[in-house]
Amino acid sequence: MGDNKIVRVVVLMEEAFKIFASNLVAAGKHVGIEMIPFIVPNDKVTKLLQDKFESFMSKNQSDTVLVINDFKNKNEYFLKESFFGKYKCYLWFWDSMHRIELRQDRLYKYKKVSSFEIDDVEYAKSTFGIDIDYIPLVAGESFCLNPVESNKNRSIDISFIGLVPKNSYRLQLLNRLAIHCKEKGYNLKLYGHFWHWNNWYQRVTGKIKFRLRYPVLAQYVENRFIQPEEAVEIYRNTKVNLNIHIKEHKSYNCRTFEVIGNNNFLISSEQEEANLKLVSGIHFATYKTDDEFIRKIDYYMQHGDERNRIASTGGEQVRSIYKMEHFIKQVFE
């Protein structure tokens, strides 16, 4: 891919990741790569969709495809074997390779494989005998465009946005937090997928069951999908934003950079990523234990000047080195 050549890339992704599509497109424009998303329903692989994808490639006159996660249904990968001979195929994992069913022979057919999870570099080498690159999934343009002034009046005390599976660590920690916030009188907002909403029956019965099991937590939950534009505003209007990583992940996720990018304060679970250029206590705050999680929330709720100073310093750092446009070219090099 020459630096002076306009490159057109079709991005093949499942619906679960479509919230990143617009920021991926914007990042590509900054570096001269036209990114065109082709979004597939989750866990759906059919000949009709595969044929539509081929037509889409032809219509957009592209010979290059970036696949997010090499997804499949129970029996079949979406990217057919024949596609490797027709297109230049690149693979970028936005979930840990440990959590995805993979085939060694397919990984070798990609021109390059990358992962947002730094632990996958060693895992890919030891398990599949393949060298991959670590490329973090960082802040898209919309999360860095409007840095918040330090004196902004933020109406939400504490917020969290994310998937919260049944019986998960996230759920148990947020339940403890909700009880604590009720005792302290904090204005807590929790957004995301707490129970299924595929149809009216799931929405109604799920809500009833959740309220019975978690009566305090349910008072703070908005069980719905949050668009990126709304997430930006929630982060901007929150004093203390939260990031609770999935236990299997070792790297910092995209929420880390998305929150901080507009000068918003973040408390995140501490990860094992040694080369992160964000420092706890300077650019954001981290915790190791559940007790420390609660203590730091209380501390930063009571120390607004320190909280705002950290948020501003962190925002400058993310906008300097952790915008998506800084990494997108590496996927193809």
| Distance separating alpha carbons of residues 318 and 174, to the nearest angstrom | 27
Q: Taking residues 210-236, what's their average pLDDT?
A: 94
| The amino acid at 313 | T
The per-residue pLDDT for 274 is 67
Looking at residue 218, what DSSP letter applies? G
* Listed residues 135, 161, 189: the one ending a domain: 135
Per residue in 33-61, pLDDT (tens digit) is: 999 999 999 888 999 999 999 999 999 99
The confidence band for 11, taking pLDDT boundaries of 50, 70 and 90, is very high
> In the chain, what percentage of residues exceed pLDDT 90?
70
| Distance separating alpha carbons of residues 254 and 101, to the nearest angstrom | 22
Contact between residue 320 and residue 263 where contact means Cβ atoms under 8 Å apart: no
Does 38 share its domain with 171?
Answer: no
Q: 279 is written with which tokens?
A: 């420092």
Q: Taking residues 64-75, what's their average pLDDT?
A: 90
Does 255 share its domain with 155?
Answer: yes
Helix or strand or coil: residue 142? Answer: helix
> Strands 266-269 and 285-287, how do they pair?
parallel
* Residue burial 259-273, b: 16+ Cβ < 10 Å; e: rest: bbbbbbbbbbbebeb
Count, in order, helices (H) and strands (E) of the chain.
11, 12
For residue 288, being part of any structural domain is answered with yes
Does 210 share its domain with 243?
Answer: yes
Does 124 share its domain with 45?
Answer: yes
| Distance separating alpha carbons of residues 228 and 189, to the nearest angstrom | 16
Does 303 share its domain with 195?
Answer: yes
For residue 327, being part of any structural domain is answered with no
For residue 235, being part of any structural domain is answered with yes
The confidence band for 5, taking pLDDT boundaries of 50, 70 and 90, is low
The confidence band for 249, taking pLDDT boundaries of 50, 70 and 90, is confident
Does 168 share its domain with 295?
Answer: yes
For residue 268, being part of any structural domain is answered with yes
Per residue in 266-281, pLDDT (tens digit) is: 999 999 876 789 999 9
CA angle 34, 36, 38 (to 5 degrees): 165
For residue 20, being part of any structural domain is answered with yes
| DSSP β-bridge partners for residue 55 | none
The per-residue pLDDT for 321 is 92
Per residue in 182-207, pLDDT (tens digit) is: 999 999 999 998 987 767 778 888 88
Average pLDDT, the chain: 92
Q: Which residue has the tokens 């085939």?
A: 103
The per-residue pLDDT for 3 is 46
Per residue in 148-178, pLDDT (tens digit) is: 987 789 999 999 999 898 879 999 999 999 9
- Domain CATH number, residue 27: 3.40.50
Check whether 132 has a pLDDT greater than 90: yes
Q: Which conformational region is residue 281 in: left (phi greater than 0), alpha (psi within -120 to 50 degrees), or beta?
A: left
Helix (H) or strand (E) holding 69: none
For residue 27, being part of any structural domain is answered with yes
For residue 227, being part of any structural domain is answered with yes
* Listed residues 135, 156, 175: the one ending a domain: 135
- In the chain, the number of structural domains is 2
Does 64 share its domain with 106?
Answer: yes
Does 196 share its domain with 249?
Answer: yes
Does 171 share its domain with 306?
Answer: yes
Print the domain residue range for 97: 7-135
Does 213 share its domain with 232?
Answer: yes
* Listed residues 91, 116, 135: the one ending a domain: 135
Does 168 share its domain with 131?
Answer: no
The phi, psi pair for 93, rounded to 5°, reads: -85, 125
The per-residue pLDDT for 28 is 94
- Domain CATH number, residue 228: 3.40.50.2000
Q: How far is CA 238 from the centre of its chain?
A: 19
Does 108 share its domain with 191?
Answer: no
For residue 2, being part of any structural domain is answered with no
Q: How far is CA 41 from the centre of its chain?
A: 18
